[in-house]
Amino acid sequence: MANVRALAAEVLYQVVDKGQSLNTQLPFAAQKVHGKDKALLQQICYGVLRYLPTLEHYCQQLLEQPLKGKRRVYQFVLYVGMYQLQYMRVPEHAAVAETVAAVESMRAPGLKGLINAILRTFQRQQAELEASANLIPVCQFNHPGWFIKKLQATYPDTWQDILDENQQQAPMWLRVNQQHYTTAEYSEMLDEDGIEHSTDAQYQDGILLDKPCDVFTLPGFREGACSVQDAAAQLAARLLDPQDDDLILDACAAPGGKTCHILELADARVHALDADDQRLERVEQNLKRIGLRAECIHADASTPDTWWNSTPYDRILLDVPCSATGVIRRHPDIKWLRRKTDIDDLAELQASILKNIWPLLKPGGTLIYATCSVLPEENAQQVAQFITQTNDAIHHPLHDNDTPEQPGMQLLPGLSDGFYYAKLTKKQ
Does 255 appear as a known binding residue? yes
Q: Which stretch binds ligand SAM (CB under 6 A): 25-33, 86-94, 300-308, 417-425?
A: 300-308
Smallest distance, ligand SAM to C-beta of residue 197, A: 22
Q: Confirm whether residue 300 is marked as ligand binding.
A: yes
Is 279 among the residues that bind ligand SAM (CB under 6 A)?
yes
In 10 A of CB 370, how many CB atoms? 26
Instruction: Print the SS3 string covering 68-114.
Output: CHHHHHHHHHHHHHHHHHHHCCCCHHHHHHHHHHHHHHCCCHHHHHH
Separation between Cα atoms, residue 178 and residue 225, nearest integer Å: 8
Rank residues 8 and 231 by Cβ distance to ligand SAM and give the closer one.
231
Q: Is 258 annotated as a binding residue?
A: yes
- Asked if residue 378 binds ligand SAM (CB under 6 A), the reply is no
With CB under 6 A as the contact rule, which of the stretches 75-83, 138-146, 271-279, 308-316 interacts with ligand SAM? 271-279
213 annotated to bind ligand? no
Pairing of strands 269-274, 295-298: parallel
Strand bridging mode 393-396 / 295-298:
unpaired
CB of 347 to ligand SAM, least distance (A): 13
Query: Mind giving me the DSSP string for 169-198?
Result: PPP-EEEE-TTT--HHHHHHHHHHTT--EE
Q: Is 145 annotated as a binding residue?
A: no
Q: By CB under 6 A, tell whether 417 contacts ligand SAM.
A: no
Which among 201, 171, 205 is positioned nearest to 186, based on CA atoms?
Answer: 205
Instruction: Judge whether 200 is annotated as a binding position.
Output: no
Catalytic-role residue among 139, 260, 296, 372: 372
**Residue 69 backbone class (left: φ over 0; alpha: ψ -120 to 50; beta: rest):** left
Please report, for residues 82, 118, 225, the alpha-carbon distance to residue 79 in angstroms, rounded to integers and kept in the order given.
5, 11, 41
Q: Is 219 in the site for ligand SAM (CB under 6 A)?
A: no
DSSP state of 215: G
Asked if residue 302 binds ligand SAM (CB under 6 A), the reply is yes
Residues β-bridged to residue 384: none
Report, in Å, the least distance between residue 99 CB and ligand SAM.
36
Q: Does the annotation list 344 as a binding residue?
A: no
Query: What would the DSSP string read from start to end of 326-394?
Result: T-TTT-TTHHHH--HHHHHHHHHHHHHHHHHHGGGEEEEEEEEEEES---GGGTHHHHHHHHHH-TTEE
Binding mask 237-266 for ligand SAM (x = CB under 6 A): ---------------xxxxxxx--------
CB of 16 to ligand SAM, least distance (A): 23
Q: Does residue 338 belong to the site contacting ligand SAM (CB under 6 A)?
A: no
How many angstroms separate the CA atoms of 282 and 276, rounded?
Answer: 10
Sheet holding 173-176, edge to edge: 197-198, 206-209, 173-176, 226-228
Any contact of residue 228 with ligand SAM (CB under 6 A)?
Answer: no
Selected range binding ligand SAM among 10-18, 119-127, 267-275, 386-394, rule: CB under 6 A = 267-275
The smaller minimum CB distance to ligand SAM, of residues 44 and 353, is found at 353
Please give the residue whose beta carbon sits closest to ligand SAM in the complex: 252
Q: Please confirm, yes or no, whether 260 is among the known catalytic residues.
A: no
- Residue 276 engages ligand SAM in binding (rule: CB under 6 A): yes
Task: Count interface residues toward ligand SAM (CB under 6 A).
Answer: 19
**Minimum distance of ligand SAM from residue 53's CB (angstroms):** 27
Helix axes 340-357, 145-154, angle to 10 degrees: 60
Is the Cβ–Cβ distance between 99 and 115 less than 8 Å? Answer: yes
Residue 362 annotated as part of some ligand binding site: no
Q: Does 171 bind ligand SAM (CB under 6 A)?
A: no
Would you name the residues annotated as active-site residues?
A: 372
> Per the annotation, where are the binding residues?
252-258, 274, 300, 319
Residues annotated in the binding site for S-adenosyl-L-methionine, as ranges? 252-258, 274, 300, 319
Binding site for ligand SAM (CB under 6 A): 233, 252-258, 273-276, 279, 300-302, 319, 321, 353
